[in-house]
Amino acid sequence: MSLPFEEMLREGVKADRVLIISDNECNYRGSSSSGPVQTLADAYRRQSGNDIWVHAIDLMGYGTQQFAGPRTNIIAGWSEKALGFIPLAEQGAGGLEETIARYEWQ
């Protein structure tokens, strides 16, 4: 789980968001270093100056999560509709509430 963040840091990749699809059981960095993966997301935010969104899709729903914070979106389970939820999460509660209010029941 640590390799994508480590590569982004090493190569100076500029990103707005990171999408992680996992069973969220890999809560610690690789064998080369210790600590939670969250520390790499935080390091990327500091070093790049990009306050990225981290969207973590938990495929198995064990009740664990790798990431936390205000620009973190945890989705439990998988459906292709999860991808449509990502921009709504980034808009905040107001965007989601508006979408629900406009929904037409069939």
Tokens read off for 54: 């981290």
Give the per-residue pLDDT at 28.
56
* Alpha-carbon gap, residue 101 to 95, rounded angstroms: 10
Give the per-residue pLDDT at 32.
52
Give the per-residue pLDDT at 51.
93
Give the per-residue pLDDT at 29.
56
Give the per-residue pLDDT at 49.
93
Give the per-residue pLDDT at 46.
94
Number of residues assigned to the chain: 106
Burial readout 65-76 (b: 16 or more C-beta within 10 A, e: otherwise): ebbeeeebbbbe
Mean of pLDDT over the chain:
83
Low-confidence stretches of the chain (pLDDT beneath 70):
24-34, 61
Rg (CA), the chain: 15
CATH no. for 2-102: 3.40.50.410
Give the per-residue pLDDT at 33.
57
**pTM listed for this prediction:** 0.78
